[in-house]
Structure 1
Amino acid sequence: MVTPLSRSLAAAVLAVLPLTLSPTATHAAETLPLTEAVTRLPEGTESRDGYSRDSFRHWNTGLDPADGCHTRAEVLLDEAVEAPVVGAGCRLTGGRWFSYYDATWVTSASNLDIDHMVPLAEAWDSGASAWSAQRREAYANDQGAPQSLVAVTARSNRSKADQDPAQWLPPAADAHCRYAAEWTGTKLRWDLTADTAELNTLTELAAACPDQAVSYEPTP
């Protein structure tokens, strides 16, 4: 399967803006089997009390404020299989992307959403309700890990909404192992909990994906 280009620059730079995380403060990156990674997720009871999408400021000016592109556009540029033309105001024309959720090629940026691998509401439920506004903004604009934000078709992103893997999986069955790994890696990166049904589903997926690895770098 063709996959988007590596987010090498973003992975190397976790902070350019004051509201992103300092690369000098990160912990050591780890790569481990999905089966082991799932066991590292702390189990917790979720609560959506007090949630508002406005609690997670996005999109901000991204990794490079000087380029005139906000986070959404920077992710689109980084994940393009064929680069679009960048016009005035960071308007993107042309280009080609692969939406791995539904194994679909896309040739218009307007048909893509930038999905938070772990949705903002799910993050709130799983621990982000206790974070500062600054940390929530860093989460919502996280380009420090390639799995945190992913360009996918608008229809697949909106079908997913704020559901966890116990409630929704990508329509492309071949994507399930990768999706479980990226979901687990994102939760580990941000020290988020998982509820019982979510853990059970991830455990089942891990058993069906014995060769799947998870790579993540914890945030401070």
Structure 2
Amino acid sequence: MMIRGLLAATLAVPLLSGAAAPAGAEHAPTRVHAPVDQVIKALPVADEHRDGYKRTKFRHWVDADRDGCNTRSEVLLEEATEKPEVGPRCRISGGQWHSYYEDADTDSARSLDIDHMVPLAEAWDSGASQWDGQRRQRYANDLDWDRSLVAVTAKYNRQKADKDPSDWWVPAADASCQYLTDWVGVKTRWSLAVDRKELAALRERATECPDAVVDVPLAD
């Protein structure tokens, strides 16, 4: 079942923007705003399969608006805590960033990776294998919600790799609830499923974040 229908059926109507109609009605919800534990309960559960996955099936770091800056550069510019200078061909110099996974600052753009909050391989396992190439490209370059892609130090992005929350979690204790809502938000935004181990890990983390709220627009 698509997550929009699950959310409309599971969450209280006032928590969903545009959700006055019941599941299956003409007007589907366009945004989820609800406590993280409720949103986790609404996630569809399914076994994961990586058959056929190739990273190249998600075309990423495109320049969608043709302004000379690709997706990686756009995220760096958006997340800079001290704005860098931008030269020809979107060459970035100077600036400062905060990598929230380990609660550290850096002034080197080269030391940063742009992490897909839900990695491409995990997205494939969770439903993206059924998408067409255009939707996978939109997912891989999602600038329409600022939690889908995050600038983090390469060390921790590569440590995370394609692991889900049952196998990897952010090292900074103060980042835990943010990471939880970011992960659940992306899964919700793109109607992606969770497997049972992942679901158990999310539920356990949610007990440590009783006040956490997911606020995310649903992708078309």
Q: Choose 173-182 or 45-54, whichever is displaced more.
A: 173-182
For residue 144 of structure 1, report the CA deviation from its aligned partner.
0.7
Structure 1: 5+ residue stretches without partners: 1-24
Give the Cα separation in 2 of the matches to 1:52 and 1:26. Answer: 32
Q: Secondary structure at the match of 2:147?
A: coil
For residue 28 of structure 1, report the CA deviation from its aligned partner.
2.0
Distance 1:26 1:76, change over 3 A: farther
TM-score (ref. length: structure 2): 0.86
For residue 26 of structure 1, report the CA deviation from its aligned partner.
9.1
Matches within 5 A, 1:30-109: 30-62=32-64, 64-65=65-66, 67-109=67-109
Q: Secondary structure at the match of 1:75?
A: helix
Q: Choose 139-148 or 25-34, whichever is displaced more.
A: 25-34
- Indicate the residue corresponding to 1:209 in structure 2: 209
Matches within 5 A, 1:177-192: 177-192=177-192
Q: Secondary structure at the match of 1:61?
A: coil
CA RMSD of aligned residues (A): 1.3
Q: Which string of whole-angstrom CA distances, capped at 9 and with x for unpartnered residues, describes residues 140-164 of structure 1?
A: 0000111100000000100000000
Which amino acid in structure 2 is aligned with residue 61 of structure 1?
D
- Indicate the residue corresponding to 1:174 in structure 2: 174
Give the Cα separation in 2 of the matches to 1:41 and 1:173. Answer: 25
Give the Cα separation in 2 of the matches to 1:38 and 1:147. Answer: 17
Give the Cα separation in 1 of the matches to 2:159 and 2:56. Answer: 21
For residue 129 of structure 1, report the CA deviation from its aligned partner.
0.3
- Indicate the residue corresponding to 1:165 in structure 2: 165
Distance 1:34 1:173, change over 3 A: same
What is the aligned length?
194
Would the aligned equivalents of 1:26 and 1:217 in 2 still touch at CA under 8 Å? no
Would the aligned equivalents of 1:26 and 1:219 in 2 still touch at CA under 8 Å? no
Q: Secondary structure at the match of 1:179?
A: helix
Which amino acid in structure 1 is aligned with residue 173 of structure 2?
A
Structure 2: 5+ residue stretches without partners: 1-26
Give the Cα separation in 1 of the matches to 2:74 and 2:168. Answer: 27
Q: Which string of whole-angstrom CA distances, capped at 9 and with x for unpartnered residues, describes residues 9-28 of structure 1?
A: xxxxxxxxxxxxxxxx9952
For residue 108 of structure 1, report the CA deviation from its aligned partner.
1.0
TM-score (ref. length: structure 1): 0.86
Distance 1:59 1:39, change over 3 A: same
Would the aligned equivalents of 1:96 and 1:105 in 2 still touch at CA under 8 Å? yes
Give the Cα separation in 1 of the matches to 2:117 and 2:75. Answer: 13
Q: Secondary structure at the match of 2:207?
A: helix
Distance 1:56 1:98, change over 3 A: same
Would the aligned equivalents of 1:86 and 1:92 in 2 still touch at CA under 8 Å? yes
- Indicate the residue corresponding to 1:6 in structure 2: none
Matches within 5 A, 1:105-184: 105-184=105-184
Which amino acid in structure 2 is aligned with residue 209 of structure 1?
C
For residue 59 of structure 1, report the CA deviation from its aligned partner.
0.9
- Name which structure has the greater RCO, CA cutoff 8 Å, separation 6+: 1
Whose Rg is larger?
2
Which amino acid in structure 1 is aligned with residue 74 of structure 2?
E
Give the Cα separation in 2 of the matches to 1:149 and 1:111. Answer: 16
Q: Choose 92-101 or 30-39, whichever is displaced more.
A: 30-39
